[in-house]
Amino acid sequence: MKAITSSILMLACAAACAAEPTTIAVKAAHMVDVRSGTLVDNAVVLISGERITAAGSKLAIPAGAQVIDLGNKTLLPGLIDAHTHITGAPEDAGYSIIAKSVPRVTLVGAKNALTTLRAGFTTIRDVGADNYTDIGLRDAINDGDVPGPRILASGPPLSITGGHCDDTMHAPEYKSTALGVADGADEAMKVTRRNIKYGADVIKICATGGVLSFGDDPRTSQYTLDELKAIISDAHRLGRKTAAHAHGGDGIKLSVLAGVDSIEHGSYIDEEGIKLMKEHKTYLVPTLYLGDWLIENAEAIKLPKPLLEKAKVVLPTARVNIGKAIKAGVPIAFGTDAAVYPHGLNAREFAVLVKLGMTPAQAIRTATVNAADLLGWSDKVGSIEAGKFADLIAVDGEPLKDVKTLEQVQWVMKGGAVVK
């Protein structure tokens, strides 16, 4: 009897020991400390399960740990893109989007998710997908059905009737209206609550006209201050952050005064808007590289002529004004508008930020600690520190000297699992 009891205890112990996660030790010649903007040499990151337990120089590696030796590579935290449309594609800027079914769009999103993850972006914020396709994809990734980055999703963006995020491609007789259309404070609150009901992590608001829509002017505001206050205060009360698509000066100012968490694009930001954003500590999420790609590839994706004409005016103007905002010290978080150009090219945004006056370290911070702060995930992602998710990337070369090294990510880990 004593022998049987002993055997049972040994089996129980073996099962318990087997259930304990194996320690993983990731070694690399260098690691970027994104907070200080310096390199840590002879880096070691210790991981248990999905989380980092320790990180630093020449840390002792526990006996029995699984060692991943990356040689002469440089480690960084997984990158964050705070402005994507993961279920979209460049050709959707034209009429071809009309022919895509919801299942087809969602499957395109699954492809884009893997491409984005393998490019080193382990966390994204999706700010606008009709029919809740981004929320469905987020849930599939969280459940392990498909690979992809961590996603904070918005679902259908809020828009006035005929605004930038309404459907302006169909003829009147089709009576087509986008799912997120809401006019007046009461209706806007109702749509905000409906998006949250169906799983939105963030509420996206189209506060001004846009480039890739018909019949509107990016410089003009669309929602009133009262409508914006109703949306934003309700979203905040229900524990969600807010993001405002805003090219024009008045739309930027109204959104900031209403308490929005981030301004997306900010193409026509002026001195007053810069002052307000600094006072309110509102993040600006520029999306600049897309200007190069979109104009160069307009013919290939069959971009309608009225939209191309707007792009040729707005996008170069944005670089001038956002350069002023950067120099003035407006808080910046990294965003790309990926879908306007192909997913996976997200890191090309870094070089544009550096051209506008940022140091490489500052540009990298926009996609790490700054973006994590904007998302409300500073305790989860954005730096290589104990307690954070083990989301890591590795590159050849020195990103603190040349941010273009981030365009060629060689190795990716998400939550302690190597995915590239």
Tell me the β-bridge partners of 123.
80, 150
Residue in the structure block whose two tokens are 């205890």: 9
Q: What is the pLDDT of residues 213-257, one digit of tens each?
A: 999 999 999 999 999 999 999 999 999 999 999 999 899 999 999
> Could you say which of 81, 134, 201, 337 is catalytic?
337
Sort residue 180 into left (φ over 0), alpha (ψ -120 to 50) or beta: alpha
Q: What is the pLDDT of residues 366-389, one digit of tens each?
A: 999 999 999 999 999 999 999 999
Averaged over successive runs of 10 residues, the pLDDT of the chain (420 residues) comes to 45 48 94 97 98 96 96 98 97 81 95 98 97 98 98 98 90 88 98 98 98 94 98 98 96 98 98 98 97 94 94 96 98 98 98 98 98 98 98 97 98 98
Residue tagged 């079914």 (tokens): 101
pLDDT (0 to 100) of residue 10: 45
Contacts (Cβ under 8 Å, ≥6 apart) of 127: 82, 83, 84, 85, 154, 157, 202, 204, 243, 245, 264
Burial tier of 410 (Cβ tally within 10 Å: 0-12, 13-18, 19+): middle
- Phi, psi angles (nearest 5°) of residue 284: -105, 130
Q: Which fold has domain 21-77+383-418?
A: Urease, subunit C; domain 1 (2.30.40)
Please report, in angstroms and rounded to a whole number, the separation of the first and last CA atoms in the chain: 51
204 a catalytic residue: yes
> Which whole-number Å values give the CA distances from 279 to 182, 214, 269, 309, 328, in the listed order?
29, 34, 15, 35, 12
What distance in Å separates the CA atoms of residue 163 and residue 156, rounded to the nearest whole number? 13
Catalytic residue (one of 81, 166, 167, 204): 204
HSE, side-chain direction, 13 A CA sphere, residue 127: 31
> Sign of dihedral through CA atoms 352, 353, 358, 363?
negative
Whether 302 contacts 94, CB under 8 Å: yes
Domain spans of the chain, in order of start? 21-77+383-418, 79-375
Residue of 182, 147, 169 lying closest to 93 (CA atoms): 169
The predicted pLDDT at position 252 comes to 98
Active site residue 302: no
CATH superfamily of 79-375: Metal-dependent hydrolases (3.20.20.140)
Predicted TM-score (pTM) of this structure: 0.94
DSSP structure class, residue 346: G
Report DSSP letters for 18-44, one per residue: HHSPPEEEEEEEEEEETTTTEEEEEEE
Radius of gyration of the chain (CA): 23
